[in-house]
Chain A
Amino acid sequence: MNAFSCQSARSFKSVIWTAGLVLLAAIVLAVASLLPESSPLHASAFVVSLAGKYLAYAMLALSVDLVWGFAGILTLGHAAFFGLGGYAMGMYLMREIGARGAYGDANLPDFMVFLSWKSLPWYWCGTDHFAWAMMLVLVVPALLAGVFGWLAFRSRVSGVYLSIITQALTYALMLAFFQNGFGFGGNNGLTDFKDILGADLHAPATRAALLVATGIALAASLLAARFIVGSRFGNLLVAVRDSENRTRFLGYRPDQVKLLVWIFSAMLAAVGGALYVTQVGIINPGEFAPANSIESVIWVAVGGRGTLSGAVLGAILVNFGKTLFTAWLPEFWLYGLGLLFICTTLFLPNGIMGLWRPTRKNDPEDITPEVSAPEGEHP
């Protein structure tokens, strides 16, 4: 007898397809960008960095889908982890500039010279080593997510309350990073990067390599996420979402279950943020804006919550739409985005992926933890 449900089996297949497609698209674009400019198939640097940006956003969307679609935690603060990952990568890229900055200081980034700091703050130590910076990319968001999640889940903060405090978290980070004294370049953030691992960031080959790296990271994340939600742990996540009390009386600890997926999700978002920075060339406190977090939720909603592939699809589609809109009708983008929020929640509760799947009575949208009736509590 098969322990896995049909639903899981179906999402398995689409996720593998999506991972493959993402990787293929990244490679094709990367190769096209290396073709001579005269070639009709040549992809410009703009297109390559745009594609890289979309894929990095898709990683953010994937991380949101893991916690929202499967564990029922509506996060309005995942941009915090994305931003932290971005800043950790940005620190390394800043150090790579070395003496080529405007002030020519071999040790201090420009903005610190500007603030007439004499030495690096302790948390910048070691960021000139790529490996250490990559560790920061993973560890710092994981630590933040760990502490935050441990406190929140243990106290059974859930539903709208949790959403609001995740939003407060990213808002607080935004305010902090805006401050010059915080040591991350204040308003301007980190930018003017020159190269990564010795390779010129503006060279077509480096850009192509970064795009492929992002494609690989996204595909790998998709597969990892698929492994998680397809495992018994994935069932447990859904169980926690549907009835936290029942899992508790079965002997599971829902707080630990949620914490585990929460931390993993934060790390995925952070990797996305790190890759984003390499391709966009700047990270500033604006990335922490609560609006960004909420936007990433709508990507997931558009693509289809709880499907993994849908998150990737939604992120790419919405951002593609944003690129078109802002180029042609910049004033109407907010109308478009606003209506997208409204229409998706009203008319497309299962997202685009839901159009393929037969709608079932008990899809995640029907059961939000907040409204599950009190269990056996009325005497």
Chain B
Amino acid sequence: MRKLGLACLLAALCMGGGLGGASARADDFSGLASPQFDDVSASITALAANGSAQADAALQALETHHLFSGADGALFIRAGEVCQNARTGEATTCPEEGLKPVRVNNRIRKALAGVQAVRELSAQQPAERIKAAETFYARHDAAFLPALDRALSSEKIPAVREKLMQAHAATVLAQPPAEGAQAARLKAVGFLADVGGLEARGLLAGVAANVGEAPEVRHAAQSAVSRIDWHLRIWSVLQNAFYGLSYGSVLLLAATGLAITFGVMGVINMAHGEMMMIGAYVTWLVQQGIQMTVPALEPFALLIAIPAAFVVCGGLGVVIERCLIRFLYGRPLETLLATWGLSLVLQQVTRSLFGPTNIAVQTPAWLSGSLALGGLDITLNRLAILVFAGLVLGGLMLVLRRTPLGLQMRAVTQNRRMAALMGIRTPKVDALAFGLGAGLAGLAGVAVSQIDNVSPNLGQSYIIDSFMVVVFGGVGNLWGTLAAAMALGMGGKVLEPTIGAVSAKIAILVLVIAYIQRHPRGMFPVRGRGIES
């Protein structure tokens, strides 16, 4: 393989050398000294083809801003006070005057990148060659056609060949149609149709719209465009579905706690969003604390923040229940007002302590970046939240089904009076349920801190959506909460591309309002004769 790469390199050098030899005095270098960017660019291409050691050195110098032009087209590579003639490589003294740097603009940079890619085409590592082929695919510049042909003639690795053919096809199609090129262009259309993607679509659409093109080619391009469109649409639907799932999982995290307190105590906790906000701030504090004390643990700060947020918010929840909520039993509407007041206080406390602006919660390296899955772009942090939400829901179900506390909570949800008569200490269950709900909000806060701005207002942006989930899903049924969260998350994201983000939100709100009016107890109501309707 290395041998092969070397052969390529040699071939390229020989051909370049041949060319260079023929026009040695026409000077591939002279364009560099010109004030015209066109000339500079042309010169760069020529030098790249030239391939001599001096050409490479000159290009490198240009890239690093070390190339200077002197009077009457002399070129110097200057490092500090030392100069060398760019054409010959001889060391000389730097001229006293008239030494101007060769200017580099975007166009020149692009040309240089092309040169770099040509170099990489003959690199030893197949991965680098693939990268180079991709660069040419994206640029489909006719100037590189010979380089591509060259590379194709010697390339043996199928994966690289594939990429090179794509780049070749794109480059061919990007040229204006010429007599006799029909068959080649048709082949290229077929190739690009298989490649797919926006880039190919753009090229093919250009071909289809070009009246100078042979009808046969235009027709093929047209059908290729519609095929690509269809694929793109499917992928975009899937992508939106992923966003929907991701938003749904955030909603789920935010709403489960709310659903628990509402289910068990019949209390809507308006300060629930602020519990999330506090969870996010705890995440930040944990990160800061670990940074200052044990920097080695920094990558795991987020994992440590999870139990921390749960404990802090859960504890706060118990305190709130003991000091406020329990005095308002049987008055759900008053509780709603009191917890709203509490949410204002919590916001202001946070604002006073941490300032009104966003704080920067870090995303650990292992959660940054994304995963390409076909045409999908799956960001790791969102994926992690999806998994986290699933784990939290699963854990919660275990707590509810397998622990005495869960049993008692379910009993109180279904019939408070009977539960009390059977010896369940309902005040304790209430306090723990409220604490659990607040703790879950804290977990939601940790998750949200990874994808959203963390400021004292964080809670408010989630609270209404979470309410919607709870009333939509029905009380006392976690499956209902799950279904509602996913339905609202997906619904919003599916509508978004067609009618816009805000309209989608409005549409979802109106739909939920309409739905609640038809099914006043949500999708999964607790039924039975004992329930007051």
Which B residue's beta carbon lies closest to that of A372?
B532
* Chain A count of residues within 8 A CB distance of the other chain: 55
B206 within 8 A of A: no
Are B332 and A160 closer than 8 Å at their CB atoms? yes
**Is A340 interfacial (CB-CB < 8 Å)?**
yes
Docked-complex contact A341 and B338, CB < 8 angstroms: yes
Complex: A342 Cα to B338 Cα, angstroms? 4
Give the interface segment out of B88-96, B181-189, B342-350. B342-350
Docked-complex contact A377 and B530, CB < 8 angstroms = yes
Which of chain B's residues have a CB closer than 8 A to the CB of A280?
none
Interface centre among A169, A175, A340, A344, by most chain B C-beta atoms within 10 angstroms, is: A175
Stretch at the interface among B380-388, B421-429, B514-522: B514-522
Q: Which one of B49-57, B117-125, B463-471 contacts A? A: B463-471
State whether B334 touches A157 (Cβ < 8 A). Answer: no
Of B344, B509, B514, which is within 8 A of A151 by CB? B514
Number of A-B contacts (CB under 8 A): 150
Would A157 and B517 count as touching, CB distance under 8 A? yes
A342 in contact with B509 given A168-B464, A301-B337, A368-B331 (CB within 8 Å) = no
B14 CB–A CB distance under 8 Å = no
Contact with A along B492-510 (1 / 0, CB 8 A): 0000000000110110011
Q: Given A377-B529, A378-B530, A160 and B333 touching (CB < 8 A)?
A: yes
CB distance from A115 to the nearest CB of B (A): 16
Pairwise interchain contact B352-A331, C-beta atoms closer than 8 A = yes
Interface residues of A in 130-186 (CB under 8 A from B): 148, 151-152, 154-161, 163-165, 167-169, 171-172, 175-176, 178-179
Q: With A168-B509, A172-B506, A342-B324 in contact, do A160 and B344 touch (Cβ < 8 Å)?
A: no
B526 within 8 A of A: no
Residues of A with C-beta under 8 A to B336: 74, 76, 160, 163
CB interface residues, B 462-484, toward A, < 8 Å: 464, 467-468, 470-471
A342 contacts B341, C-beta separation under 8 Å: yes
A74 touches B467 (CB 8 A): no
User: B521 to chain A: which residues have CB within 8 Å?
Assistant: 161
Given A341-B338, A341-B340, residue A335 in contact with residue B502 (CB < 8 A): no
B266 at the interface (CB under 8 A from A): yes
Complex alpha-carbon distance, A83 and B16, angstroms: 75
The reply to whether B332 and A374 contact each other, CB–CB distance below 8 Å, is no
A contact residues around B348 at 8 Å (CB): 331-332, 334-335, 338
- Of chain B, the residue at the smallest CB distance from A169 is B513
| Residue pair A345, B510 in contact (C-beta under 8 Å) | no
Partner pick for A374 among B268, B345, B467, B532, CB 8 A cutoff: B532
Q: Does A250 interact with chain B (Cβ within 8 Å)?
A: no
Closest to B341 in A: A341
Say yes or no for A31: interface residue by CB 8 A criterion.
no
The reply to whether the CB of B366 lies closer than 8 angstroms to some CB of chain A is: no
Cβ–Cβ contact A365 & B334, under 8 A = yes
CA distance A156 to B344 in the complex (A): 31
Q: Determine whether A298 belongs to the interface, using a CB cutoff of 8 Å to chain B.
A: yes
Most chain B Cβ neighbours within 10 Å, of A156, A160, A335, A375: A160
> Which A-chain residue is minimally distant from B266 (CB atoms)?
A370
Taking A345-B334, A368-B331 as contacts, is the C-beta distance between A340 and B517 under 8 angstroms? Answer: no
State the Cβ distance, B484 to closest chain A Cβ, in Å. 13
B330 at the interface (CB under 8 A from A): yes
Q: Distance (Å) between the CB of A79 and the closest chain B CB?
A: 14
Evaluate contact between B330 and A155: CB separation under 8 angstroms: no
Whether, in the assembled complex, A337 has its beta carbon less than 8 Å from a beta carbon of chain B, the answer is yes
Give the distance to chain B from A303, nearest Cβ to Cβ, in Å. 14
Q: What secondary structure prevails in chain A residues at the interface with B?
A: helix
Residue B200 at the chain A interface, CB threshold 8 Å = no
Given A290-B464, A334-B345, A338-B345, A165-B334 contact (CB < 8 Å)? no
Contact A160 B266 (CB under 8 A): yes
Are A340 and B341 closer than 8 Å at their CB atoms?
A: yes
B397 at the interface (CB under 8 A from A): no
* B332 and A371 form a contact (CB under 8 A): yes
Residue of A nearest to B328 (CB): A345
Contact A368 B333 (CB under 8 A): yes
Residues of B within 8 A of A165 (CB): 471, 512-513, 516-517
Residue of A nearest to B504 (CB): A175
| Residue in contact with B330 in the complex, picked from A156, A301, A371, A374, CB distance below 8 Å | A371
- Chain A 289-321 per-residue mask, 1 if CB under 8 angstroms from chain B, else 0: 010001001100100000000000000000000
Return chain B residues, CB-CB under 8 Å to A164: 268, 467-468, 470-471
A346-379 near B? 1/0 per residue, CB < 8 Å: 1001000000000000000100101111110111
B162 → chain A closest CB, angstroms: 46
User: Residues of A contacting B530 with CB < 8 Å?
Assistant: 374, 377-378
Residue in A closest to B343 when the chains form the complex, CB atoms: A338
Q: Which residues of the other chain, B, contact A301 by a CB distance below 8 angstroms?
A: 337
CB-based nearest B residue for A294:
B340
**CB-CB < 8 A to B332: which residues of A?**
159-160, 368, 370-371
Q: Which of B340, B342, B533 is most buried by chain A, counting CB atoms within 10 A of its CB? A: B340
Asked whether A35 is an interface residue with its Cβ less than 8 Å from the other chain, the reply is no
* Most A CB within 10 A of own CB, among B505, B506, B532, B533: B532
B334, B468, B533: the one within 8 Å of A349 (CB): B334
Q: List 28 A-B contacts (CB under 8 A).
A: A156-B533, A160-B333, A160-B336, A163-B268, A164-B268, A164-B467, A164-B470, A165-B512, A172-B505, A172-B513, A175-B509, A176-B506, A179-B502, A179-B503, A334-B351, A338-B348, A342-B341, A342-B345, A345-B335, A345-B337, A345-B341, A346-B324, A346-B327, A368-B330, A371-B330, A377-B530, A377-B532, A378-B530
Q: Which residues of A contact B (CB under 8 A)?
A: 74, 76, 148, 151-152, 154-161, 163-165, 167-169, 171-172, 175-176, 178-179, 290, 294, 297-298, 301, 331-332, 334-335, 337-342, 344-346, 349, 365, 368, 370-375, 377-379
**Contact surface of B with A, Cβ cutoff 8 Å:** 262, 266, 268, 324, 327-328, 330-338, 340-345, 347-348, 351-352, 464, 467-468, 470-471, 502-503, 505-506, 509-510, 512-514, 516-521, 529-533
A155-B519, A338-B343 are known contacts; what are 13 more A-B pairs with Cβ within 8 Å?
A160-B333, A164-B470, A175-B509, A176-B502, A335-B348, A338-B342, A341-B337, A342-B324, A346-B338, A371-B332, A377-B529, A377-B532, A379-B529
